[in-house]
Amino acid sequence: MEQKLKDKVVVITGTTSGIGAGMAKLFAAHGAKVVGSGRRQEKGEAVVKEIIDNGGEATFVRTDVLDQEQLQNLIDTAVNKYGRIDILVNNAAYEPTKVFAENTYDDYRKVIDTNLGSYIMASIYALKYMREQKSGKILNINSVTAEQVVPGVGMYAIAKAGITNLTKIIALEYAKEGIRCNEVNPGLIMAGAFEDPAVREWAHDAIVNGTPVGRLGTVEEIANAALYLLSDEADFVNGTSFYIDGGRRLI
Ligand SMILES: NC(=O)c1ccc[n+]([C@@H]2O[C@H](COP(=O)([O-])OP(=O)(O)OC[C@H]3O[C@@H](n4cnc5c(N)ncnc54)[C@H](OP(=O)(O)O)[C@@H]3O)[C@@H](O)[C@H]2O)c1
């Protein structure tokens, strides 16, 4: 099999489950040295073990992205271990359900700081090294929610809309320094909350009628899109939002 990320040092936030775990496994199968992260140590270590058992290379660094020292440490650990950071994938997210006016100050801080703040700060920490290297790629796992607002997850949607401009500004300011930045915008995916059958039943109409393709997407479909954007084949792709949503944003 052609290895599209051979020897690339890849840091991913939130590899303890879902799309982050799926990307970690796929990227490692494509030759990447994966530095995964998250708060749930056991789950993170289990993903690393699976990668190593399959002949890949991976490390887990326990990280709460709301803690700046831990977030900086995640990036520094990759560079200290491998001498460089080729790719940062911002993926960690928190999506509580609450109508807009019921959010408290603490709700607002947690949602915005997790979903947007951590993407901003991890990018700043990684760019320091990428600019010295004169190469690097940042991929933001965004959401269809960046474009399509639905009731009950407004604070999350505000953060996700911000990620699109984060993607554009990095793409614009650092392209001449050999750095690319893009985002993947998943629709409804069989991961996170949708792993719960009760949530799938509650969201049946959104999945079947609110998505032209009429089904949930898979973790593999998102991971493959991410792999393409991070491969050399996509060197001319910069500042793009890649919607993998079965057409959901069109409804
Ligand atoms: N599933 C969908 O339908 C869907 C749709 C659109 C977009 N997305 C996006 O896809 C990405 C992955 O989501 P998912 O569906 O795979 O959900 P998931 O399985 O719940 O994964 C979320 C990840 O974020 C990590 N995380 C959350 N808060 C964190 C914190 N404070 N510090 C460190 N890590 C933290 C979690 O790790 P710990 O809990 O171990 O810390 C976990 O690994 C997110 O950006 C999400 O917005 C998903």
- Domains of the chain by residue range: 9-244
Q: Is the CB of 191 under 6 A from ligand 1?
A: yes
Residues with catalytic function: 156
Tens of pLDDT, residue by residue over 35-52, are 999 999 999 999 999 999
Q: Can you give the pLDDT at residue 143?
A: 98
**Residue where the block lists tokens 């020292």:** 69
Instruction: Extract the residue ranges of the chain whose pLDDT is less than 50.
Output: none
Q: Are 185 and 245 in contact (CB under 8 A)?
A: yes
The Å distance, Cα 122 to ligand 1 centre, comes to 15
Read off the tokens for 38: 């998250």
Q: Does domain 9-244 have CATH number 3.40.50.720?
A: yes
The Å distance, Cα 177 to ligand 1 centre, comes to 30
DSSP per residue, the chain: ---TTTT-EEEES--SSHHHHHHHHHHHHTT-EEEEEES-HHHHHHHHHHHHHTT-EEEEEE--TT-HHHHHHHHHHHHHHHS---EEEE-------B-GGG--HHHHHHHHIIIIIHHHHHHHHHHHHHHHHT-EEEEEE--GGGTS--TTBHHHHHHHHHHHHHHHHHHHHHGGGTEEEEEEEE-SBSSGGGGSHHHHHHTHHHHHTSSTT-S-B-HHHHHHHHHHHHSGGGTT--S-EEEESTTGGG-
Q: Look at ligand 1, atom 43, and give the residue with the nearest C-alpha.
A: 14
Q: Is the CB of 231 under 6 A from ligand 1?
A: no
Task: For residue 6, give every residue at least 6 positions away whose Cβ sits within 8 Å of its Cβ, in sequence order, or none.
Answer: 30, 31, 32
Tens of pLDDT, residue by residue over 156-178, are 999 999 999 999 999 999 999 99
Mean pLDDT of the chain: 97
Q: Can you give the pLDDT at residue 1?
A: 82
Q: Is the CB of 113 under 6 A from ligand 1?
A: no
Q: Is the CB of 210 under 6 A from ligand 1?
A: no
Q: Are 143 and 217 in contact (CB under 8 A)?
A: no
The Å distance, Cα 213 to ligand 1 centre, comes to 23
Q: Can you give the pLDDT at residue 77?
A: 98
